[in-house]
Homo-oligomer: A and B are copies of this chain.
Amino acid sequence: MEIARIGIVTISDRASRGQYEDKGGPAIYAWFTRVLTSPWQAVAKVIPDEQQQIEAVLRELSDEAGCSLIVTTGGTGPALRDVTPEATEAVCSKMMPGFGELMRNASLKYVPTAILSRQTAGVRGKSLIVNLPGKPSAIDDCLNAVFPAIPYCIDLIAGSYLEANPEQCKIFRPAHAMRK
C-alpha cells in the first residue's frame, strides 16, 4: 500500500519568526496520528502570512511533494494579514464550498465568532486543500466535522487511499469505492 503524504502548513507571522510556538501544526499531526490507520507521512511547513509564499508552498506540496491532502492552520480571519483563503483559491482549480460551511457550522456550537472564519477548501490536481482554524481546540472540532468525507473526496481526485479507525472518526465511502 502506498504511503499517503499529508501536507501540514502553519501560517503565522509570529510562529514563522520563532516568536511564538506553533501549536496548530502539532495539533493537526496529533489528530491524524490518532485517527489514521493507513500508512502516511507528514510534510510540515511553517510560513508567514504572505499570500505569494502561501501559494508557493501549496503548489510545491501538491505538484512536487505529491500530497493527497494539504491542511493549513491560521490566517483565515478578517484581519489585514489573514490571506490564507485567498491563497488557497488562487492555487485551486475547483472550490469546495461545503467544507467551509460545515466547519463554520460546527464551530458555531462553541462560539458565535465562528462566522468570522473565512476558511475554505479546494482541489488542485490530485490534492485536496483544506483550511483549518489556528486554535488547536477549533482544529479538532473542524477535522471531526469534515474528515468523514475526506478519504472519498481524495479517491475521486485520484489521490492516496486513506483509512481511519472508526472509533476515532467514522469515514464514509460508498461500497463500490472500498478496497478490500
Which chain A residues have a beta carbon within 8 Å of chain B's beta carbons? Answer: 77-80, 82, 86, 94-102, 104-105, 108, 111-118, 120, 123, 128, 146, 148-149, 152-153, 156-158, 170-172, 174
A78's partner among B79, B114, B116, B128 (CB-CB below 8 A) is B128
CB atoms of A113 and B78 under 8 A apart: no
A101's partner among B96, B101, B156 (CB-CB below 8 A) is B101
Query: If the complex has contacts A112-B148, A148-B112, are A118 and B96 also in contact, measured as CB distance less than 8 A?
Result: yes
Q: How many copies does the complex hold?
A: 3
CB atoms of B115 and A96 under 8 A apart: yes
Distance (whole angstroms) from the CB of A93 to the closest CB of chain B: 9
Bound form: Cα–Cα A116–B99 in Å = 8
Q: Mind listing 10 A-B residue pairs with CB under 8 Å?
A: A78-B123, A96-B115, A98-B114, A101-B101, A101-B115, A102-B104, A102-B115, A113-B152, A113-B153, A116-B156
Q: Which residues of B contact A105 (CB under 8 A)?
A: 101
